[in-house]
Copies of this chain bind each other. A is one copy, B any other.
């Protein structure tokens, strides 16, 4: 298709697509003549991936370029490319220099990975994100020992495995798999957090035997009182 149609199909302005072409985020189309080029499905998929990384992932153009460069580098495997995509997604936590408490918690986090036998890189950003949250909890005086973290890891693992298998099976195309990695990683996060808060509310309601003030399902009408007959 021509540039104008690519713009129509992707919902992106022509100026934006030209910017991506200039910045090297989108490969050039096949030249038809001196002034026109032809674009294919791979261009449409690439535009969707760029949009997902920018709008859902909040990634900058240079971060997007980093991911795409890896995607095109034949020396990286699919596992490595999807891993790099995940690593570049926010948040990125900077470990504070010379904080002994941080070093201790990070060692506990590393030991937990070894105990679980999880095969992760020592430079995975999630290890620092995990460390920061545990440091903050303990700073406020809350316990958050390795056993607590292990419970979280075990509870989340089946979900993560199912998510990964969907991406692996349904998106053999690498651009689509990278886009799915961005979308699944980031958009299932608020889902996980929202159902947790709803579960808290339900547990509290049951413990205190309280009905919701404004229930989602109205109470059934009371059973007829046999004494009235």
Contacts and interface: CB of A to CB of B under 8 A. Distances in A.
Interface of A: 48, 52, 56, 77-80, 82-83, 86, 91, 110, 113-114, 116, 118-124, 126-127, 129-130, 132-134, 136-137, 140, 142, 144, 149, 151-153, 155-165, 168, 179-180, 183-185, 187-208, 210-217
B130 A201 contact: no
A122 B215 contact: yes
21 contacts: A77-B208, A79-B204, A79-B210, A118-B202, A119-B206, A119-B212, A120-B201, A120-B202, A121-B212, A130-B190, A130-B198, A133-B190, A134-B191, A142-B180, A152-B159, A156-B199, A160-B196, A160-B197, A164-B207, A165-B207, A189-B193
- Copies of this chain: 2
Contact of A183 (B110, B140, B201): B140
Nearest to A161: B203
B83 A122 contact: no
Given A122-B212, A142-B183, A149-B195, 8 more contacts: A120-B212, A130-B198, A137-B188, A153-B195, A155-B159, A160-B197, A164-B203, A185-B197
B187 A136 contact: yes
A200 B155 contact: no
A172 to B, nearest CB: 14
Contacts of A114: 216-217
B199 A160 contact: yes
Contacts of A162: 151
Contact of A142 (B129, B149, B184, B196): B184
The 5 A-B pairs at the shortest CB distance, nearest first, are namely A160-B199, A130-B194, A79-B208, A119-B205, A118-B202
Contacts of A216: 110, 113-114, 120, 122
